[in-house]
Chain A
Amino acid sequence: MNQISVNTSTLSANPNRIRSRAIRANLVAYGFMTPAIILAILFFVIPAVLVVMLSLTDLSTANFTADISLMNFVGLANYRTLFADQFVQKIFFNTVFYVLVTLSLFNIGAALLVSLLTMHVNRRAGFIYRALWLLPRITTGSVYVLLWRRIIAESPFGILNQINGWLGQPSINYAAENPWTFVILVNGFVGLSFGMVIFTSAIEAIPKDLLNASLVDGSTLLQRVRYVVMPLLRWPLLFVMTYQTLSLLTSFEQTLLLTNGGPGLYQTEVWALTAYHRALSNYFGNAQWGYGSAFAVVLVLVGVTLAVIYMRVFRFRELVSEPKIEVL
């Protein structure tokens, strides 16, 4: 109210002054935004365009140049090579397998289980457990993977094989025999904490009356979970699912450090790791930036699409709220 009256009085007094004031306010706002805009353009907008352009060139170590005008454009040749590549099918299904299994077992399944379990113990203990689950996420990849490599190492060094020895079992070379299991475990233990925190706060927000009412009605624990908690968790579940699908699709640091796509031929290679290998870390010293970019473009497209979709679905209401202070 106050504001409007101020505005109208100044408007009637001097229209030119109010317009120049508005322009100045806009300039101030852009001033505040400038650093972020520059960074976003430099490291998001230009790269997103550039990756598509690179994927249309045959840029490799042999004809390396950082100048776009000197690059040799070859049309869709990289994409044709990509679809003809005999290992692409394997890498694609590796990725599907990895994302689906890790997502369902850890990022959602175990996350939900851990948040339900830690809410059924006393507050302090539950908090400590949840904090402990955060450790893999805040430990740097190379140390975290180092721990796992020692867990699965061969006898006499590995912890698992030490237990095998106590039980009279032979030593197993887990890294060679069961690489996928540990790729999934290593990534799953990191990914779990995201869903855990979201689910915990969502469950905490469930009105206690509902749970009490179901208790009075004589429900069992499983019934309460199925009919009271789960329906109210639908949106958090969907959110975690989409968000984590995307992060699993594109994260490859742990896999790079643990198996680097091996030990068999492309045995644990996922799509994002392939893009990285082709373009930035090639065994043969021949970096194929053009071909690697073709792999990356596929991920960028999936990433943008999913990001747009779920931000539309999940955050749109918050987005449209207008700021509280108008121009003064």
Chain B
Amino acid sequence: MVTDTLVKTVSNAPQSTLPAFLLMIWRGLRLALITSIGLGLGAAALEWVLRPALQSVNVEENFTATLSALLVGFLPVSFYIAGGTAARAGRKNGWISALLAAWIVACIGYSLLTAYQVATGTGIFRQAPSLGFDLRQAEAGVEVVSVDVGGPAETAGLQVGDIITALRRDPVTADDLQSRIAQAAPEDAFRLRIQRGAEELQLTTHVGLINQTDIAAWGRGLIAALVIAAVALIIPPRFIPHLLVILALLPLLAGYLWLVIATFSQRTNGLLPIDVNGNIGGWTLANWGFLAGKNAAGSTVNILVVTLNSLIIALAMTAVSLVICSMSGYALSRMTFPGRRLFLSMTLILHGFPAVTLIIPIFFILINLGNIPIIGQLIGYNSTGGIALVMIAFELPLGVWLMKGFFDNISWDMERSALIDGASRWRTFWEIILPQIRPGLLALGIFSFIGGWNAYLIPATYSVGTGLATLPVYIRQLSGELAPVNWNQVAAVGLFQLIPIFIFFIFAQEYLLNIYAGGTKGSS
């Protein structure tokens, strides 16, 4: 019996590899097909449902077109990846056969793509409108360098050495003519005025379609397909989440990288620092001259005032928010009084309510507050106090809710004994309770500080002139569209503004992550 099975297994082994190999290919194709159908349906929904619907209501957008182009562009790639993924299970039976299976699926995908491009005359196999000649810009006009045999130009009678002086009656340059031909439809007529030796004549040619097949590009595409399939086969599955997240983060990372590079260079092309002559290099500290009161162009900036404005608003917001929010959070958490339920539901509703919709009437509130004698100057329209007050108010619902949550979570034994010992409510709050919710105060404090330090919309709306400009407003003014912008200067101020944010970011990520989700985690 045992030998029987052994013999069977041995004799089966060579036969079973072929079905296993075919199975890998079949699985790869199935996976690719499913993904392609998904992508295709997505693109079709975008192209034939969403886009016409948006067009019918006058929304001018290219977003659906961009997205569907991305989906369609990913179609062949899905074949390569599917081939590699499906073959992964077969790696333990032999790397070579797994790689072969992955490549076969990838090649099927690539040949489908090629067939599609040949059939429709797109991509690598596109047919471009052409007149069948090569041109060069000469002094007298556009010189014909060579004429394709049998091309439209030869049919019309153009010869090498002819000088094209005008298209119809308009003088024309080589670049202009080329681009007109590229945009022309087949059979469009081009009436060319030509200087041949001393003789001047006029010829009419009709645009034909010429295959511009790029075999080198086809080869590169094939290699890319094979590489993608191989990578999909080899890459360990645990790297895939890393890969996807980093890929999605790339624009952000590139943006921040640009900010840092631009700050220390004279100019930037993309992510490359360049000097005034256009060579790579040109590192400089001139952009940081604004700290000493001079910007890169040499004019004075009052960065100290701007920074102080930002700092005052941020610190005022932090201090006042902490006091007000912890007081009312405490009352809502620990006291019963008529109207408590009303206040709580108000807090909750305002927590969800977008305060920014009230930006217009608050303009009038601030103007009227400014008319109050004595303190009006401090809290009215166009004053730091007014701006800070509005921002504190906008943050109030979140802060109160957050603080209430922190108070709810601490034990009330110490508080009770303090009250029984005859301490007043205020003293209990100030000396017993507040020290216990230090993490909550820290979280709300950081949140308020960042809010105040980053404020753009409120200061920009409720102040006039530059006297009260905060750093974000100042950065916006620097990067306005009216004057030529020194982007590297703007980048330096931007990075300067980001320094405290980065410090908080490095040391308090956990608080930030919780609180920016509306404090839902801090409160429960």
Partners in one complex: yes
Chain B residues near A272: list those with CB within 8 A: 356-357
Residue-wise, chain B 242-267 has the 8 Å CB interface mask toward A (1 for contact) of 10110011011111101100100000
A209 vs B233: C-alpha distance when bound (angstroms): 32
Neighbour of B336 across the interface among A66, A293, A315, A326, CB < 8 A: A326
- Measured CB to CB, the closest approach of chain B to A150, in angstroms, equals 5
Chain B residues near A150: list those with CB within 8 A: 255, 258, 262, 268, 487
Chain A residues near B99: list those with CB within 8 A: none
Chain B residues near A201: list those with CB within 8 A: 517, 520-521
Residue-wise, chain A 65-99 has the 8 Å CB interface mask toward B (1 for contact) of 01000000000000000000000011001100100
- Measured CB to CB, the closest approach of chain B to A243, in angstroms, equals 7
Query: Given A243-B352, A249-B354, is A139 in contact with B396 using a C-beta cutoff of 8 Å?
Result: no
Q: By the criterion CB–CB under 8 Å, are A35 and B475 in contact?
A: no
Q: By the criterion CB–CB under 8 Å, are B57 and A43 in contact?
A: no
Q: By the criterion CB–CB under 8 Å, are A197 and B509 in contact?
A: no
Chain A residues near B517: list those with CB within 8 A: 193-194, 197-198, 201
- Measured CB to CB, the closest approach of chain B to A42, in angstroms, equals 6
Chain A residues near B262: list those with CB within 8 A: 150
Name the residue of chain A whose CB is nearest to the CB of B450: A138
Chain A residues near B505: list those with CB within 8 A: 131, 134-135, 138
- Measured CB to CB, the closest approach of chain A to B519, in angstroms, equals 10
Chain B residues near A93: list those with CB within 8 A: 54, 57-59
Chain A residues near B259: list those with CB within 8 A: 143, 146-147
Q: By the criterion CB–CB under 8 Å, are B456 and A146 in contact?
A: no
Chain B residues near A243: list those with CB within 8 A: 352, 518
Neighbour of A184 across the interface among B63, B461, B504, CB < 8 A: B63
Q: By the criterion CB–CB under 8 Å, are B393 and A197 in contact?
A: no
Task: Check A62 for interface membership: any CB of B closer than 8 A.
Answer: no
Q: By the criterion CB–CB under 8 Å, are B360 and A39 in contact?
A: no
A253 vs B490: C-alpha distance when bound (angstroms): 19
Select the stretch in A7-15, A45-53, A210-218, A223-231 that faces chain B: A45-53
Neighbour of A146 across the interface among B66, B336, B341, B494, CB < 8 A: B494
Task: Check B305 for interface membership: any CB of A closer than 8 A.
Answer: no
Count of interface residues, chain A, beta-carbon cutoff 8 Å: 120
Chain A residues near B341: list those with CB within 8 A: 319-320
Chain A residues near B394: list those with CB within 8 A: 43
Q: By the criterion CB–CB under 8 Å, are A40 and B358 in contact?
A: no
Name the residue of chain A whose CB is nearest to the CB of B490: A146
Task: Check B285 for interface membership: any CB of A closer than 8 A.
Answer: no
- Measured CB to CB, the closest approach of chain B to A155, in angstroms, equals 8
Q: By the criterion CB–CB under 8 Å, are B457 and A253 in contact?
A: yes
Chain A residues near B245: list those with CB within 8 A: 114, 117-118, 121, 129
Q: By the criterion CB–CB under 8 Å, are B63 and A35 in contact?
A: no
A26 vs B476: C-alpha distance when bound (angstroms): 48
Q: By the criterion CB–CB under 8 Å, are B354 and A162 in contact?
A: no
Chain B residues near A134: list those with CB within 8 A: 505, 509, 512-513, 516
Interface size of B as a range: 35 or more
Neighbour of A50 across the interface among B241, B364, B392, B420, CB < 8 A: B364
Task: Check A279 for interface membership: any CB of B closer than 8 A.
Answer: yes
Chain B residues near A97: list those with CB within 8 A: 54, 59, 61
Chain A residues near B429: list those with CB within 8 A: 32
Select the stretch in B135-143, B189-197, B326-334 that faces chain A: B326-334
A272 vs B357: C-alpha distance when bound (angstroms): 7
Q: By the criterion CB–CB under 8 Å, are A36 and B457 in contact?
A: no
The CB with the most chain B CB atoms within 10 A, among A40, A117, A138, A311, is that of: A138
Query: Given A43-B365, A121-B241, A134-B516, is A90 in contact with B59 using a C-beta cutoff of 8 Å?
Result: yes
A118 vs B243: C-alpha distance when bound (angstroms): 11
Query: Given A40-B396, A120-B241, A311-B351, is A143 in contact with B475 using a C-beta cutoff of 8 Å?
Result: yes
Q: By the criterion CB–CB under 8 Å, are A308 and B349 in contact?
A: yes
Q: By the criterion CB–CB under 8 Å, are B351 and A42 in contact?
A: no
Q: By the criterion CB–CB under 8 Å, are B254 and A296 in contact?
A: no
A310 vs B476: C-alpha distance when bound (angstroms): 36
Q: By the criterion CB–CB under 8 Å, are B63 and A194 in contact?
A: no
Task: Check B157 for interface membership: any CB of A closer than 8 A.
Answer: no
- Measured CB to CB, the closest approach of chain B to A322, in angstroms, equals 7
Complex A-B: 22 CB contacts under 8 Å: A36-B400, A42-B389, A47-B358, A117-B244, A120-B238, A140-B453, A142-B473, A142-B494, A143-B498, A162-B269, A185-B251, A189-B251, A193-B517, A243-B352, A247-B354, A280-B360, A289-B364, A296-B358, A296-B359, A322-B336, A325-B412, A325-B415
Q: Which 6 pairs show the lowest CB-CB distances between chains A and B? A: A162-B270, A147-B255, A43-B393, A197-B517, A307-B352, A32-B331
Residues of A participating in the B interface, judged by any CB pair closer than 8 Å? 25-26, 28-33, 35-37, 39-40, 42-44, 46-48, 50-51, 54, 66, 89-90, 93-94, 97, 101, 110, 113-114, 117-118, 120-121, 125, 127, 129-143, 146-151, 156-159, 161-163, 177-178, 180-181, 184-185, 189, 193-194, 197-198, 201, 243, 246-247, 249-253, 256-257, 264, 267, 272, 275-276, 279-281, 289, 292-293, 296, 299-300, 303-304, 306-308, 310-311, 315, 318-320, 322-328
